[in-house]
């Protein structure tokens, strides 16, 4: 269904574009060139280029952390943070104190599914 709607939209766009003709395309192209050549636009582009590496680094770090959390939720495996602490369904490890805590209140993970 989506493919059909895309094809219909592409056909309509092509037909309308063909009716507008080359003159309208040239007008739009000239207007876009004027906007792109505007000093304010170029200043903003340079500002964005300068900020992009910082933003990419920050986003990469948070994306990696979020992906790790999602993986741990989906797989049920332990999660380890940057300090070395980790936690799973059966217990946790505190890297600073070197102590482990074990959940022995039930029959391991999934005990709620036992009869």
Mean pLDDT taken over the chain = 75
Residue 115 DSSP one-character state: -
Lowest model confidence (mean pLDDT) among 1-5, 19-23, 43-47, 105-109: 105-109
The most confident of 2-6, 7-11, 36-40, 72-76, by mean pLDDT = 36-40
Contact call for residues 79 and 87 (beta carbons, < 8 A): yes
Q: Whole-angstrom Cα distance, residue 102 to residue 93?
A: 9
Q: Whole-angstrom Cα distance, residue 4 to residue 91?
A: 52
Query: Is pLDDT of 6 > 70?
Result: yes
Query: Is pLDDT of 62 > 70?
Result: yes
């Amino acid at each position: 269904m989506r493919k059909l709607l895309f094809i219909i939209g592409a056909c309509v766009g092509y037909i309308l574009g063909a009716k507008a003709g080359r003159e309208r395309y040239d007008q739009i192209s000239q207007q876009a060139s004027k906007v792109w050549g505007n000093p304010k636009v170029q200043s903003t582009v340079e500002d964005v280029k300068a900020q992009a590496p910082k933003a990419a680094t920050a986003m990469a770090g948070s994306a990696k952390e979020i992906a790790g959390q999602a993986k741990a939720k989906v797989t049920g495996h332990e999660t380890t943070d940057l300090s070395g602490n980790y936690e799973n369904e059966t217990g946790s490890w505190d890297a600073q104190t070197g102590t482990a805590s074990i959940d022995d209140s039930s029959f391991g993970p999934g005990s709620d599914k036992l009869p």
